[in-house]
Amino acid sequence: MKRVERINTMIHYINNRAFFTIKELMEEFQISKSTAIRDVNEIRLQGMPIVSEVGPEGGYFVERNRMLPSIRLTDYELRAIFLSFLATSNRGLPFLVDRKALTEKLLLVASDEQKDNLLELQNFVWIGGVNPNHPTLLNEYDRANPLLEKVIQTLLNTRHLIITLINGDERDIYVRGIFQRELSWFIEGINFKDKKQIILPIEQIKKIFQSKVFISKKQFKKIEPQQPDPNVIVLLDKLAIERFKRLNLPHIFLRSDHKNILLETFIQVKNEMEIKNATDWLLYLGEGIKFKRLPKEIAECIQKRLANFSDKLVD
Contact 198, 273 (CB under 8 A): no
* Interatomic CA distance for residues 277 and 280, integer angstroms: 5
- Cα 185–Cα 212–Cα 251 angle in degrees, nearest 5: 35
Domain with CATH 1.10.10.10 in the chain: 3-65
Rounded to the nearest 5 percent, the helix, strand and coil shares of the chain are 45, 20, 35
CATH 1.10.10.10 is held by the domain 3-65: yes
Write out residues in the chain with pLDDT < 70, as ranges.
Answer: 1, 55-57, 64-72, 89-91, 96-101, 128-143, 182, 222-225, 250-251, 312-315
Determine the CATH number of domain 146-223: 2.30.30
Domain with CATH 2.30.30 in the chain: 146-223
* Interatomic CA distance for residues 309 and 315, integer angstroms: 13
Closest CA to 290 of 251, 240, 244: 240
pLDDT of residue 312: 66
Residue 6 Ramachandran class (φ > 0 left, ψ -120 to 50 alpha, else beta):
alpha
How far CA 264 is from CA of 10, 151, 235, 249, 301, in Å, comes to 55, 29, 9, 11, 19
- Tens-digit pLDDT profile for residues 193-243: 887 778 888 999 999 988 888 777 777 776 666 778 899 999 999 999 988
